[in-house]
Structure 1
Amino acid sequence: MPPTLTHVALHVPDVDACVAFYEQFCAMRVIHRRAGKGATIVWMAELGKEHSFIFVLMPGGQSRQLAADDYSHFGFALGSRAQVDSIAEQARLAGCLVWEPRDEAYPVGYYCGVRDPAGHYVEFSYGQPLGPGAEHMALP
């Protein structure tokens, strides 16, 4: 069997703040919580993906200080441009919008960027050949 990406593990400065962020903005939920290394370790997943891909959030990390033009990010696909706009408005009100919604040529599509409480950037997109509607698109 070839390697399969199953999780990303992140040390974050505030686990609870990150859990709240990923619940609110990404519709992820806590699927496992345990004590470890003197604090709580949390596993989060999207509904239905609990056995295929998770985020592991661990205490003790430093806040990341990324530049606005740093495009390192986690990517989440949405079902419409209106959903991208809605996330951007929520993030604007919460003070964590990094990239205003914008349109770019295929395969990038329509997207915005949000900063999580640990400083990681999270992209929300529509129109990429990944996620909802991808079965109707093909990479060139």
Structure 2
Amino acid sequence: MVSLTHLALHVPDLDACIAFYEEFCNMRVVSERPGKGSRIVWMAEPGKEKSFVFVIMPGGQSRQLAENDYSHFGFALDGREAVDVIAARAQAAGCLIWSPRQDGFYTGYYCGVRDPAGHYVEFSYGQPLGPGAEEMPAP
């Protein structure tokens, strides 16, 4: 058996990234230890602490993604309204990159936000995974 358990990222400003993932992604610090010249932090969504974490540590360079680069982390939300709320908060914070939009079956309704390290983060509803997936008819 193989299971995806974590994603590890070097970031230029550890505290800014912790604050971003707490505010926008409902993630919490679940472990913190010394390392990499400062500290290494594990963050997870409530209830998923033993199944998947972001490991973030200092020392990274800010990512400068091209406008047509859609590399991103994806978070599913429980409705279109939740996508709109995240987009409005991101707009106010100056980090909205994709305004809310509806696309096809695999994309659903989504918006995109830039984290303090330059990573793109997608917030979606209506994809064939995450909340609402069981209501999705096959394409």
Q: Alignment length, in residue pairs? A: 139
Q: Given residue 74 of structure 2, which amino acid in structure 1 is its aligned partner? A: G
Alignment partner, residue 25 of structure 1 = 24
Gaps of 5+ in 1: none
CA drift of 1:38 comes to 1.8
Q: Given residue 49 of structure 1, which amino acid in structure 2 is its aligned partner? A: K
CA drift of 1:139 comes to 4.9
TM-score (norm 1): 0.96
Alignment partner, residue 126 of structure 1 = 125
SS in 2 for 1:57: strand
CA drift of 1:138 comes to 5.5
Are residues 1:35 and 2:34 paired? yes
> Residues of 2 paired with 1:94 and 1:137: CA distance?
32
Instruction: Give me the identity figure in percent.
Output: 72
> Residues of 2 paired with 1:30 and 1:69: CA distance?
32
Alignment partner, residue 52 of structure 1 = 51
Alignment partner, residue 110 of structure 1 = 109
Gaps of 5+ in 2: none
Are residues 1:7 and 2:22 paired? no
Q: Given residue 25 of structure 1, which amino acid in structure 2 is its aligned partner? A: F
Q: Given residue 68 of structure 2, which amino acid in structure 1 is its aligned partner? A: D
> Residues of 1 paired with 2:137 and 2:17: CA distance?
34
Alignment partner, residue 70 of structure 1 = 69
Q: Given residue 43 of structure 2, which amino acid in structure 1 is its aligned partner? A: M
> Residues of 1 paired with 2:137 and 2:49: CA distance?
27
> Residues of 2 paired with 1:59 and 1:107: CA distance?
34
TM-score (norm 2): 0.96
SS in 2 for 1:42: strand
